[in-house]
Amino acid sequence: MKKELFLSSIAAATIAPAPFFATERAATEKPNVLLLVVDDWGANDLSLTGSRFYETPNVDRLCRQSTCFSNGYVAYPRSVPSRYALFTGLHCARPQPFTKRGSDDRKVTRESPCMAEPFKASGYETMFIGKWHLATDDCMPQDKGFDINIGGGHAGATKSYFSPYDKDLHGKSGNAKERPIEGMDDALPGEYLTDYMGRKVVDYINRDHDKPFFIACCFYAVHTPLQAKEADIEPFRQKRERLGLTDDSFRPEEAGETKVQQNHPVYAGMIKSVDDAIGQMMNALEQRGLRENTIVILISDNGGLSSRGNKREVATSNAPFKAGKGHLYDGGIRVPFAVLLPDQRKGRVSEVPASSLDIFPTLVDLCGLTLDREYTFDGLSLRPELEGRKNRIADRKLYWHKADERPVSTGDYISSAMLCGNYKLLDFYLQNRVELYDVSKDPSESVNIAAEHPEIVKRMMSDLNAWRADLNVHMATPDTPKHDDKVVKTTRSSQPR
């Protein structure tokens, strides 16, 4: 995130972290959990972190009450591996036996750990709604600890954001690449998908609960197709003109090019809908008297869609961070990441490196979950950091690995990466190319200092190689097939008229 803007915007609310259990009642009850995952949402796609085009008042309010990780990362810059890591607590670089050659896709199987299972074993009601994208034909969210599953399955994107969601704007059904979305047949005619999801979560919160609940709300937004309600688009068309924003412009980057400014009215409207839905959920928690005993976690699955290798439509700019979805530069893996503890009202900013891999062990720790099996977590519990206690998180190292690339669709190459203190190393191992950045001084990763610091490169490469060997990661070879050997068609961005 834009560190100075982020720190100053939240500074008024930053005193000390609120204690986790703020009341005697809360100390004797397990907290509810609301996990919010936005799709393809960049670190700077909110007004709190400096966007002058997008508007996110509800998210900003949530963040100002929360612990916000200004160095929040995901385990992978694309949806499926990233979500696998989040829900299993296992790094997506760990291979699965059935993984296709040249693919980093992972699935949650009957043998996989899953976040919902220990919640259910600990007496929680569990609900999933939205994008799962981790299913196998014999294993869906309801088979992995979720009592309720609305819309979660094989699908990685909706055909249309307007009900019925499996027909595009021209009325065509199906999708050559995606399975249909199931379990959302009760949507109102033409109901916007994000509105539908917000309504269903609010309805669930408003039920009478005799058990604590765990809700995983995984928005299909703001993933393509870029579609928003006309009432949400028009104000941003006017704002774009008022701000004097130009038509799209791009700069060369990696295998393609990257969008250099935030100016897409439809995408802005999609962000507004997500913000509205989150605001409605938070209001429901307040009105039901549940806010003081609910943990809320907000994160994206990867950086914003800003890069391309062809002429596809892209959504946003992640500047000052480099590149976007698909890349191991910070634009692809650095995301909004906030944790709100029960009864916490005063926010704080943490600069320690935090990972989506930390969410599962953190919730086990905070909620005192009964583990129904032996778990191996590749992340750490953030509870000590959330409570302002000394911990080992600040000195940790983070690792990433890609055995897949999409030079045509998102302009990225096969690579591995490592973050250690202020230094970030990228190993484009098929190209015999190593890059080193001091991200504290160069957040844009624009000046490769590898040649100036051979000892740092040597030490970090040794650590990276040891990590890859320990996890037995799949190393791509020069003849590994590329994911996208054909041109990706441009996405239509509009609303049914």
Q: Is 186 exposed, middle or buried (0-12, 13-18, 19+ CB in 10 A)?
A: exposed
Q: What is the pLDDT of residue 343?
A: 83
Tally of domains in the chain = 1
Q: Which residue has the higher pLDDT, 95 or 26?
A: 95
State the CATH number of the domain containing residue 218.
3.40.720.10
With respect to residue 21, please indicate whether it lies within any of the assigned structural domains: no
Mean predicted confidence (pLDDT) in 1-9 = 50
pLDDT digits (tens, 9 = 90+) for 120-150: 999 999 999 999 999 999 999 999 999 999 9
With respect to residue 430, please indicate whether it lies within any of the assigned structural domains: no
Lowest-pLDDT choice from 3-7, 115-119, 300-304 = 3-7
Q: What is the pLDDT of residue 180?
A: 84
Q: Residue 447: which of 435, 433, 463, 464 has the closest Cα?
A: 435
Q: Buried b / exposed e across 327-337, counting CB within 10 Å, b at 16+?
A: bbbbbbbbbbb
Q: Which residue has the tokens 């998102």?
A: 410
Classify the C-alpha dihedral 161-162-166-170 as positive or negative.
Answer: negative
- 423 contacts 437 by C-beta, under 8 angstroms: yes
With respect to residue 455, please indicate whether it lies within any of the assigned structural domains: no
Q: What is the pLDDT of residue 101?
A: 65
Q: What is the pLDDT of residue 390?
A: 77
Average pLDDT over all residues of the chain: 90
With respect to residue 492, please indicate whether it lies within any of the assigned structural domains: no
Mean predicted confidence (pLDDT) in 361-379 = 92
Residue 24 reports pLDDT greater than 60: no
Residue 26 reports pLDDT greater than 60: no
3-state secondary structure of 42: coil
Integer CA distances (angstroms), 364 to 114, 377, 394, 412, in order: 12, 11, 21, 35
Cα–chain center distance at 44: 13
Q: What is the pLDDT of residue 393?
A: 81
Helix axes 265-287, 230-243, angle to 10 degrees: 120
Q: What is the pLDDT of residue 33?
A: 98
With respect to residue 24, please indicate whether it lies within any of the assigned structural domains: no
Cα–chain center distance at 311: 25
- 486 contacts 218 by C-beta, under 8 angstroms: no
| Proportion of the chain above pLDDT 70, given as a percent | 89
Mean predicted confidence (pLDDT) in 441-464 = 98
- 112 contacts 88 by C-beta, under 8 angstroms: yes
Residue 2 reports pLDDT greater than 60: no
Residue 39 reports pLDDT greater than 90: yes
Mean predicted confidence (pLDDT) in 81-93 = 97
Q: What is the pLDDT of residue 15?
A: 35
pLDDT digits (tens, 9 = 90+) for 428-441: 999 999 999 999 99
3-state secondary structure of 449: coil
Phi/psi-derived region of residue 89, left when phi > 0, alpha when psi is between -120 and 50, beta in every other case: left
With respect to residue 160, please indicate whether it lies within any of the assigned structural domains: yes
Mean predicted confidence (pLDDT) in 380-394 = 88
Tell me the CA end-to-end span of the chain in Å, nearest whole number.
37
With respect to residue 267, please indicate whether it lies within any of the assigned structural domains: yes
Lowest-pLDDT choice from 44-58, 162-176, 343-357 = 162-176
Q: Buried b / exposed e across 457-493, counting CB within 10 Å, b at 16+?
A: beebbeebeebbeebebbebeeebeebeeeebeebeb
With respect to residue 23, please indicate whether it lies within any of the assigned structural domains: no
Q: Residue 342: which of 391, 295, 398, 309 has the closest Cα?
A: 295
The 3 state secondary structure assigned to 263-315 is CCHHHHHHHHHHHHHHHHHHHHHHHCCCHHHEEEEEEECCCCCCEECCCCCCC
Domain span at 346: 3-16+30-394
Question: Which pLDDT band, with edges at 50, 70 and 90, does 490 fall under?
Answer: very low
| Proportion of the chain above pLDDT 90, given as a percent | 80
Mean predicted confidence (pLDDT) in 96-112 = 85
Cα gap 137→221, rounded to integer Å: 24
Mean predicted confidence (pLDDT) in 355-371 = 96
pLDDT digits (tens, 9 = 90+) for 255-291: 999 999 999 999 999 999 999 999 999 999 999 999 9
Residue 108 is encoded by which pair of tokens?
């949650």
Mean predicted confidence (pLDDT) in 331-335 = 98
Q: Which residue has the higher pLDDT, 166 or 101?
A: 166
Q: Which residue has the higher pLDDT, 184 or 497?
A: 184
Q: What is the pLDDT of residue 485?
A: 53
